[in-house]
Amino acid sequence: MDLPTITGATSSSSSAVASPQTMGSGADSTAVTKKAQDRPRHRKTRTGCFNCKRRRIKCKEERPACRNCVKSRYTCEYPAAARLYIAPDQVPRFTMLDMHFFQHFLLQCSPVYPLGNEQVWKHDVLCLSHHHEFLLYAVLGFAAADLEANGGTNSSLSVPAMTYRCKAIQLFRKAITSFQEPEKAPKNTMPTESKNPKPRKSANIASDPKPQTDSQHYGQSIMSFDQGSALVAACYLLMGQSQYLGDGIQDFMTLTRGSASLRGEMIRLGFPPLFQNLEPKDSIETMRQYLKGVPPLDKPWIDAGETSLEMLKFVCADGLQLAYLANLENILLHARTDTFKVYTSVMGHFIWWTSLPFDDFQRIIDLTDQVHVLLASHWVALMMAMSFLRKASMKVNDDSKKKQEESGHKGASAQAREEGKCTEPWYYWLVCLNRWVSDDYKKFNVWPQWVQDRLGEDALYFT
């Protein structure tokens, strides 16, 4: 009688008794595992080319074609790089330092020009800055520069101020190209602040090699009212920050011409201006009432200034330089008779150089020319000596700020004035320009140097 075969018992019994071959294979597997552990590991990547992935071989990721594809004569293609999506209106994350600058701008500082726009700066511009990054960086850069210049902090803020300025300029240029269609231009280097800046031939701020003062410079416009207003506001903020930079006079003059172009474009599109007193004639009418009671100047330094300007005629070589000099003489001439005519002469000088042809404008901002350095130093010295113009401009803007100071809450600029520190932004230009005058021309620059020395001793000397 045949008994049934129990396969389970047979297999278990056979496995219970290990054969010599089985014992040998266990030792070999242990050795193989140890050898695999000793092998150097490599990190897997997901950025290799498609051919190496398909063939399951290691890709060295050489560019533009990897070694494997070159050897096999394949067309090497890599997957597209992953892109991080950023919402178009996303506001960058604020740090505590950013909040400090933003609060300083909100409570204690704003650009002087255009006149009479304190509420616009504190409300409309700050609201626009939430939607336009270039405007936000311009606000922070201006506030940082103002805070450092007026001694509102013990630490140096020049690095964050220039960082924000560079970002604002970069994004400002990008906004111009996205809103409008200008001609392609070579890239310019970002402005950097130096303890001892050297004179430059032109400004570092302009993105177009030939900025014009008419709206045709920007081509066919596709910008909205908010976008145009944000560009104009950022332009004035960058102009304001330029006044705190020793070598910022060229950027200031270039941005002034740029703001005129933007204003012309806004008018062409039929947009109402966000700011008041944008046009020179409006500023002149606003200042008329503030200069009514200001008496003419009868100071001995006026004679010294006239003598210094007379000496410049010996170094001015052409009609452009003589026209520049005539504007300065006209400003100083009216100081003895009518302070309001002084302001109209100052505005006339602004209108003159903003409307110059591009080549002539580039010449007068070329500060490698010693004659142009002398003309610029005399212009800035005149503006510093005519302190009543600055005081009248501040009266237009700072009524609410004055109330804060009367109530005991004094800003950084008020504290700096009490300590005798010169808080006038153009003072930094004067110091830098006087330093750039070479030894051969210093005899023509005695009066501007004298103005700088008086302000260095007493910030209120000309008040």
Nearest to 236 by CA among 398, 103, 128: 128
Chain mean position to CA 25 = 74
- Between 346 and 414, residue with greater pLDDT: 346
pLDDT tens digits, residue range 353-363? Answer: 888 998 999 99
Please state the rounded mean pLDDT for residues 328-336: 88
Residue 374 confidence class, pLDDT cut points 50, 70, 90: very high
| Residue 322 reports pLDDT greater than 90 | yes
Task: Determine the average pLDDT of the residues in 31-37.
Answer: 57
With a pLDDT cut of 70, the percent of the chain lying above it is: 71
For range 129-147, the mean pLDDT: 88
Q: What is the CA radius of gyration of the chain?
A: 34
Given pLDDT bands bounded at 50, 70 and 90, which one contains residue 204? Answer: low
Average pLDDT over residues 368-383: 90
Mean pLDDT for the stretch of residues 86-112: 74
Residue 146 pLDDT greater than 90, yes or no: no
- Per-residue pLDDT of 382-431, as tens digits, reads 888 888 888 877 777 665 454 444 434 444 444 444 555 566 777 888 88
More confident residue, 21 or 327: 327
Cβ proximity of 48 and 59 under 8 Å: yes
Burial of 366 (0-12, 13-18, 19+ CB in 10 A): middle
The mean predicted confidence, pLDDT, of the chain is 76
Q: Summarize the confidence of residues 111-130 as an average pLDDT.
A: 84
Q: If you average pLDDT over residues 170-186, what whole number do you get?
A: 67
Q: State residue 323's pLDDT score.
A: 92
